Amino acid sequence: MKILVIEDDAQMADYVAGGLRDLGHSVTVAADGHRGRALALGEPHDLVVLDRMLPGVDGLDILRAMRAAGVKAPVIFLTTKGGIQDRVEGLDAGADDYLVKPFAFSELAARVHALGRRPPLPQVETRLTVADLDVDLISREVKRAGKPIELQPREFKLLTYLMRNAGQVVTRTMLLEHVWDFHFDPKTSIVETHLSRLRGKIDRDFPVELIVTVRGAGYMIRDRA
């Protein structure tokens, strides 16, 4: 397996990485939170061994960023923070296992092996492209024909939902459920207002409109310019 070890204690990192390499794994080590987060979000790994207390960015924040970005690689916390609440926080944040220091390497190896037996996870989606519109789901950068477009968080969520359904009509009800998490009609123009703003940003200054209204049905983003 390709394993990322995020650990600021050099001796501990060498011990864990060396043991995992002896088992045949490919191991990358990050010595601080900033580097660890960049590697966890930017490169695919089969498993991450993560310390809680790290310089720069805390381990919990790294894990939350991974899950928010759709990174589903299993994560084992390896930490001195062994209280019940610490464990609960780690597991609630999306960790798959929690091992407290000091530990026996044989136990870590067994847990790595157990997680490695899980069915392979689907490839993480990191980019959406429709016609000349490109969205980076990790950096949240939006560009059309290479031109950067600044979106508010709700506009970004609305755009990505439309792009995942490119070429298909999506109804107002579908948008309320998937973009706003409403399971009722708020009887407001919230969808129309946000779509109008989004269309202004995505289609302004371009010869072809990508986001269109399908009369009597809903909305659609064209899959070609």
pLDDT tens sequence across 84-98: 888 888 888 889 999
One domain, residues 141 and 213: yes
One domain, residues 102 and 134: no
- Taking only the tens place, the pLDDT of each residue in 133-172 is 999 998 899 999 999 999 999 999 999 999 999 999 999 9
Q: What is the mean pLDDT of residues 115-125?
A: 67
Please say which residue of 82, 116, 150 terminates a domain: 116
144 within 8 A of 134, measured Cβ to Cβ: yes
Domain that residue 53 falls in: 2-116
CATH of the domain at 58: 3.40.50.2300
One domain, residues 42 and 90: yes
Pairing relationship of beta strands 141-144 and 133-136 according to DSSP bridges: antiparallel
Kind and range of the H or E run holding 47: strand 47-50
Please say which residue of 87, 116, 145 terminates a domain: 116
Tally of CA atoms within 13 A in the half-sphere of 162 that contains its CB = 28
3-state SS record for 183-194:
CCCCCCCHHHHH
1 within 8 A of 21, measured Cβ to Cβ: no
Please say which residue of 67, 85, 116 terminates a domain: 116
One domain, residues 177 and 206: yes
Q: What angle do CA 116, 118, 120 make, to 5 degrees?
A: 90
Among candidates 179, 182, 216, 178, which has minimal Cα distance to 194?
179
User: pTM here?
Assistant: 0.54
One domain, residues 7 and 107: yes
Q: How many domains does the chain have?
A: 2
Residue 121 lies in a domain: no
Instruction: Give 221's pLDDT tier (boundaries 50, 70, 90).
Output: very high
